[in-house]
Amino acid sequence: MIKNLALFGKELEKLNPWWISDKLDLSKFVERDIFSKLTEELETRRIIQILGPRRSGKTTLIKQTISFLLKKINPRNILYYSFDDPVLAIHTDSLFKDILDFFLENIAVEGKKYVFFDEVHTCKDWHVWMKSFFDKYSEKVKFVITGSSSLVLQRDANLYLRGRSFDFTIYPLSFHEFLKFNNVEIKLFTIKEIKKMDSIGVSKIRETVIDLFRSYVLVGGFPEWFSIKETSKWFETIRNDIPKKAIYEDVSNQFNIRSPKTLENIFTFIMENQSKILSYESINEIAGLHRSILLNYIEYLKSSYLIIEIHKFAKSVKEQIKSKKKYLCIDQGLRNAIVKDYEIKFENEGFIMENLIGVHLALRGKTFYFRRNGEIDFVFLNEKIIPVEVKYSSQPEVNKEFFSFIEDNNLDEGIIITKDYFKVEKIKKTTINYIPAWLFLLSEFTTTL
């Protein structure tokens, strides 16, 4: 029940200025690569769930979507509210229900309505209300919700919204998007297109992007960087914001973590050992937890989009589960901030590039590592198997395990990620593609090579 209707309406109006102005100026924001797919989904009945880490641009994506809709529909039929904002909570004892009821009864006019609820997972019983309102209004109201914890959002959605929702996940900027945010327009290439390039064409692209690549490797892809643009201040900002809020607010509140500091220590340890193959026992040396609790803590970090867990490539699922894991940080700038690396050191370049390439692969399909007598950094699996080895050098030397893996699995392609060495060569029946890291990060990588 709303305690003061007039005051409640005034506060909601401040958060939805287009009700008065009929517009939302977002001219300074760049469209993410995912934007066109999101706007297409607006035409369906399903609830759109936008997932992703804090500060990855979910709210900006929502505001861009609102700006898109303002060109098409009556502004009064668009509602936005972030449950991170406590301003309305003091005016009602049933926030979710009262916001929507107030909007439908006092603001909205004839026509399709669009409701955007940001960080919805922080609202108690959100899934119960969402199911109720979807079942009641889905023909007339399109719901778009966001959350920073996939474990919480998907757990609740699976219980109450199965078949009613469609997920989009937004991550920190890819290198391609980072270039766009720096006003550099470079198309995404397929691997087939890269293979057809000559050295002059590659050098021409390199000249355009290499300085920004070095910047991307250091500061990462969280969009807020562009409003700060000073490394030490930026690192302090993300170090004290993104992991702290994910661990001490999102995870601790949702799962009643007794020792969030221990969870933070686990995260820091993984950052210090990014791209390395780790056992649960080695991680637990700094945590001292029961194994089942440790596994839960790692799952919380994964669901908060702080880390990615890479399993071993093995024929049996049992071996995959029992084997050691490789851990990647979702954003290189975040890792650099956590360990206070204010410049890229030569001795860390290999691990850093391995992390960047691993994230690029993992966000595009099933990605593993392989280890027998030696290690293969990544094995990408979709319609076919593609081994990917990171050798960040101008004169890369490939280990025997790479070629043994190709021969054992009867593969016809392999990829070596280099510093600036570019070459496509045929070894027996296998094509080996030597691709600079910056160029590979501009690829629409699939198994269609």
Establish if 336 belongs to a structural domain.
yes
State the pLDDT at residue 449: 55
With bands split at pLDDT 50, 70 and 90, how would you rate the model's confidence at 89?
confident
- Same domain, residue pair 219 and 296: yes
Task: Tell me: do 113 and 240 sit in the same domain.
Answer: no
Q: What is the pLDDT of residue 397?
A: 85
Strand partners, 375: 371
Give me the pLDDT at residue 380, please. Answer: 96
117 in a structural domain: yes
- What distance in Å separates the CA atoms of residue 205 and residue 303, rounded to the nearest whole number? 36
Residues 274, 399 share a domain = yes
Mean pLDDT of 3-15: 90
214 and 315 fall within a common domain = yes
Averaged confidence pLDDT in the chain: 91
Token pair belonging to 243 = 């992991």
Residue ranges in 86-163 assigned as alpha helix (H) = 95-102, 126-137, 150-160
Predicted local distance difference test score (pLDDT) of residue 78: 97
Q: Give the per-residue pLDDT at 448.
A: 52
Query: Does a structural domain hold residue 54?
Result: yes
What average pLDDT does this structure show over 91-111? Answer: 91
Evaluate if residue 188 carries a pLDDT over 80.
yes
Q: Does 260 share its domain with 375?
A: yes
Q: Which pLDDT tens digit goes with each residue over 135-162?
A: 999 899 999 998 876 566 666 666 667 7
Provide mean pLDDT across the span 299-311.
Answer: 93
Residue 130 lies in a domain: yes
Q: What is the model's pLDDT at position 343?
A: 93
Collapsing DSSP states into helix, strand and coil, what is residue 404? helix
Quick one: pLDDT at residue 386? 95
pLDDT tens readout for residues 156-178: 666 667 778 888 999 999 999 99
**Is the domain of 163 the same as that of 261?**
no
Non-local (6+) Cβ contacts of 138 within 8 A are 45, 164
The answer as to whether 449 is a domain residue is no
Condensed to tens digits (0 to 9), the pLDDT of residues 366-425 reads: 999 999 988 999 999 988 899 999 999 888 888 889 999 999 999 999 999 999 999 999
**366 & 217 share domain:** yes
Q: Residues 315, 357: one domain?
A: yes
Q: Report the pLDDT value the prediction gives residue 67, as an integer from 0 to 100.
A: 93
Could you report the per-residue pLDDT of 331-371, keeping only the tens digit for each? 999 999 999 999 998 888 999 999 999 999 999 999 999 99
269 in the same domain as 156: no
- In terms of domains, do 84 and 206 share one? no
Residues 23-65 pLDDT 10s? 887 767 788 999 999 999 999 999 999 988 888 999 999 999 9
Range of the domain at 81: 5-169
Interval 223-237 mean pLDDT: 95
CB 286 within 8 A of CB 280: no
Four-CA torsion 37, 40, 42, 47, nearest 10 degrees: -50
Output the pLDDT for position 91. 80
Which residues are paired to 145 by β-bridges? Answer: 49, 117
377 lies in the same domain as 246: yes
Are 151 and 211 in a shared domain? no
204 falls within a domain: yes
Residue 168 host element (H or E): strand 165-169
SS3 at position 73: coil
Alpha-carbon span 327 to 355, nearest angstrom: 9
- Residue 445 domain-assigned (yes or no): no
Task: Tell which of 150, 169, 188 closes a domain.
Answer: 169
Higher pLDDT, 4 or 108: 108
Count: domains in the chain: 2
Which of 153, 169, 185 represents a domain boundary (last residue)? Answer: 169
pLDDT, position 153: 64
Give the predicted TM-score (pTM) of the model: 0.91
Asked, for residue 374, whether it belongs to a domain, the answer is yes
Q: Which of 116, 150, 169 is the last residue of a domain?
A: 169
**Whole-angstrom distance, CA of residue 424 vs CA of residue 323:** 33
Greater confidence, 359 or 318? 359
Q: What is the CATH number of the domain that holds 116?
A: 3.40.50.300
- In percent, how much of the chain has pLDDT > 70? 96
